[in-house]
Structure 1
Amino acid sequence: MNSGGVQRRLRWRDDLAQVVEAEIIPRLMLAHRSERPVRRFPARLSGADDIGRLGALLLLPEDRDVLAEIRGLIADGMSLEEVLTGLLAPTARHIGRLWEEDLCDFVQVTTAMARLRRLVHDLETLSLDPHPVDPASRRVLLVPAPGETHTFGLTLAAHFFAEAGWEVTTSFDPHLADALERLRTEWFDVIGLALSCDVCLDRLVAAVPVLRRASRNRDLQVIVGGPAFHGRPDRIRLAGADAVVDDARDAPGIVQSLLDLRIRAC
C-alpha cells in the first residue's frame, strides 16, 4: 500500500473513534443521568473478546441484533459507562485497525459506522431518564478549546458532573460561537475547556477572557484539562484559569472546592 493509502486509512481509523467520542458518547452519557443501583455482584468489564465479537457483528454483511448483545452484557453486570468507554470506542478503533491491515473493505467499514449510529439511537432510547433535573442544581458548560478535535476526556467529565448532580451542557462548536451565546443568555457557574495538544494553546489563552466577558455570571469559574496541561502547572496561570483537572473523575470535586472557597470569601 502506498503512503497516501496508509494516511487515508489512518484518518479513517481516527474518524471512526471520533464518531464515538464526539457524537455517540456525549449524547448517551448526558442522557444517562439516573443514579446507578447498588450492585450485589462484581461489575462486568469489557475485554478483547467482547470488542472482537462486537466488531465482527458490525462488519457482517447481514444485520444482526447487536443491541441484544449489548443488553446481555449489561444484564451480566456491565455498566453503561463501561459499554461506552470500554467497548464502543475500542470497537471503533478495532474496526479501523482491521481496515488498515486490509482485513475488511471500505464498504464494510461504512456499514459498520452506520450500524454504530443506529446502535446509539437504540441505546439512547433505553437510557433516557424521565426524571427532571433539579432546578437548584449548579450548571457547568463544557467545551473543547478552539480548534480542538479530541473530546473524549470532555465527555467523561460531563458524565461525572451529571452523576454528581450538576446540570451539564456541552458544546462542540470549534469556534466557540455557541458557547459564547449560551454564556450571554444562560447562567453557568463553571465553564470547562479541554485541550489535547500545544498547537491550540494560544487560541485557548485568547478565548478565556472573551468567555469571561460574555458570561452573565461575573464570578464564572474557569477550569481547564487535557494532555496539554498534564505536568504543566504553569499553564494554569497562562490560560487564565482557576483550576486544572488531571482526571475527569475529579472534576466535580475540584469545582465544588472552588465554589466553596468563593462562598467562604464573601
Structure 2
Amino acid sequence: MPSEQSRLPGDASGAHASLPCRPLPESTLRRVASEALLRVATTPSTRAGRIPRPAPKEVARLCAALLEPGAMAGQTAIEDLLAAGIGRSTLMLGHLPEAARRLGEMWERDEVSFIQVGQAVGRLQRLMRVLRAPGEGRTPHAGRRALFATMPGETHTLGVIIAADACRERGWAVDLSLGEDRQVLLDEIANNAYPLLGLSVGSARTCAALADLLPDLRAAAPQTPFLLAGSFVATSPWRVRSLPVDGWAKDATEALSEMARLVEVNRAG
C-alpha cells in the first residue's frame, strides 16, 4: 500500500515501481483523490447503466452517518433506508455513489478534511460489500480478502485507497480502515476473519505507532498474517525489519506477490 507521496502524478506504472518520495502538487492531489473516491464508490453496474436519483435529504443523512466515527452509524443509516422500503440495488446504484460524490464535493469546499473523507470511503466500501448480492460484481479468488489499514489518526490515506482499488481489479476483496481510532481498528480485525491484514507505514512516526499497536493487533487476530507496505518500507527497510510482522513490500508489485504468498502459507499451515 504505497503512500500518496511515493507515486508520480499521472504515472500509470506507479503501481508497479518503487519511486522516490516527493510531494505532489495540491492540484494534482485533489484531482487524483477525487478520481479515487469515485472509483471506490462506483460498481460495474453503475458504469454500465443509469444511476437512480436518490432524494437529497437521504444522501445528506447518509453522508453525515459516514462521517461519524466507526462503522455503526453508516450501518444504521442503511438499515433505516432499507426499512423505509428502498431496495438494495437502489442503495448500491444510487445512494452510495452519490454519497461518495457528495463527500468529494464537501472536501473540495474544505467542509471536511481529507482524513474524514478517507475514513468515510472506508466505511462506504464496507457497506457496498454488505449490500452487494451474491455473484454481483468481480468475484475474488478463494481466500483473497484483506483489510488495508493506516494507523489511528494517520492523514496520508490516498495511497492506500488507490492501492486497494488496484488490488480489487486483480481479484482481491479489500476493506479499508483509514485513520480510525485504535479500538475501532482492533474491533474490526477481531470481528472479521480476514485472511490478511495490510498495514501502511509512511514515516518514522507511523512506524513507532505501529510498534506500539502490533501486540494488540496480534491479540485481536492471532491467526491473521500481517503485511507491511508503504513508502517507509522502501526508504528505511532496516527500520521496519525488526517489527514482528509476516511480510514486507516496498512497492505494489511486491505487495501483490506477498499477499498471495501469505494467504497461501496461512491456508496450508
State the TM-score, normalizing by the size of structure 1. 0.51
Aligned partner of 1:178 in structure 2 is 184
What amino acid is aligned across from residue 152 of structure 2 in structure 1? P
State which structure, 1 or 2, has the greater radius of gyration over its C-alpha atoms: 1
In the TM superposition, what is the alpha-carbon distance from 1:17 to its structure 2 partner? 3.6
What amino acid is aligned across from residue 210 of structure 1 in structure 2? D
Match for residue 232 of structure 1 among 236, 239, 246: 236
Once the two structures are superposed, residues 133-156 of structure 1 have per-residue CA deviations (whole angstroms, 9 ceiling, x without a partner) of 648553211111234211122112
Aligned partner of 2:259 in structure 1 is 255
Once the two structures are superposed, residues 109-153 of structure 1 have per-residue CA deviations (whole angstroms, 9 ceiling, x without a partner) of x999249x9xx9xxx9xxx99824648553211111234211122
The 8 Å contact of residues 196 and 263 in structure 2, kept in 1 or not, is answered as no
In the TM superposition, what is the alpha-carbon distance from 1:203 to its structure 2 partner? 0.9
Aligned partner of 2:227 in structure 1 is 223
The 8 Å contact of residues 151 and 178 in structure 2, kept in 1 or not, is answered as no
Aligned partner of 1:113 in structure 2 is 108
Distance 1:15 1:207 in 2: 34
Q: Kindly indicate whether residue 155 of structure 2 is the aligned counterpart of residue 155 of structure 1.
A: no
What amino acid is aligned across from residue 113 of structure 1 in structure 2? E
In the TM superposition, what is the alpha-carbon distance from 1:25 to its structure 2 partner? 5.2
Please list, as runs of the form range in 1=range in 2, the aligned pairs for 1:86-235 lying within 5 A after superposition: 113-114=108-109, 131-132=136-137, 134=139, 136-215=142-221, 218-235=222-239
What amino acid is aligned across from residue 241 of structure 2 in structure 1? R
In the TM superposition, what is the alpha-carbon distance from 1:162 to its structure 2 partner? 0.8
Cα gap change, 1:19/1:187 in structure 2, threshold over 3 Å: closer, same or farther?
farther
The 8 Å contact of residues 140 and 188 in structure 1, kept in 2 or not, is answered as yes
What amino acid is aligned across from residue 167 of structure 1 in structure 2? A
Cα gap change, 1:240/1:25 in structure 2, threshold over 3 Å: closer, same or farther?
farther
User: What SS class does the counterpart of residue 150 from structure 1 fall into?
Assistant: coil
Cα gap change, 1:238/1:26 in structure 2, threshold over 3 Å: closer, same or farther?
farther
Q: Kindly indicate whether residue 45 of structure 2 is the aligned counterpart of residue 28 of structure 1.
A: no
Gaps of 5+ in 1: 1-12, 36-91, 93-109
Distance 1:230 1:32 in 2: 31
Distance 2:213 2:109 in 1: 35
Once the two structures are superposed, residues 171-212 of structure 1 have per-residue CA deviations (whole angstroms, 9 ceiling, x without a partner) of 123433322111121110111111221123211111122112
In the TM superposition, what is the alpha-carbon distance from 1:26 to its structure 2 partner? 5.2
What amino acid is aligned across from residue 265 of structure 2 in structure 1? L
State, as a whole percentage, how many aligned pairs show the same letter: 24
Distance 2:159 2:107 in 1: 24
In the TM superposition, what is the alpha-carbon distance from 1:20 to its structure 2 partner? 5.9
Cα gap change, 1:171/1:203 in structure 2, threshold over 3 Å: closer, same or farther?
same
What amino acid is aligned across from residue 205 of structure 2 in structure 1? V
Distance 2:109 2:188 in 1: 31
In the TM superposition, what is the alpha-carbon distance from 1:242 to its structure 2 partner? 1.3
What amino acid is aligned across from residue 148 of structure 1 in structure 2? E
In the TM superposition, what is the alpha-carbon distance from 1:235 to its structure 2 partner? 3.2
Gaps of 5+ in 2: 1-24, 46-103, 118-123
Distance 1:15 1:241 in 2: 36
Distance 2:261 2:157 in 1: 25
State the TM-score, normalizing by the size of structure 2. 0.50
Range with bigger deviation, 219-228 or 129-138: 129-138
What is the CA RMSD across the aligned residues, in angstroms? 4.0
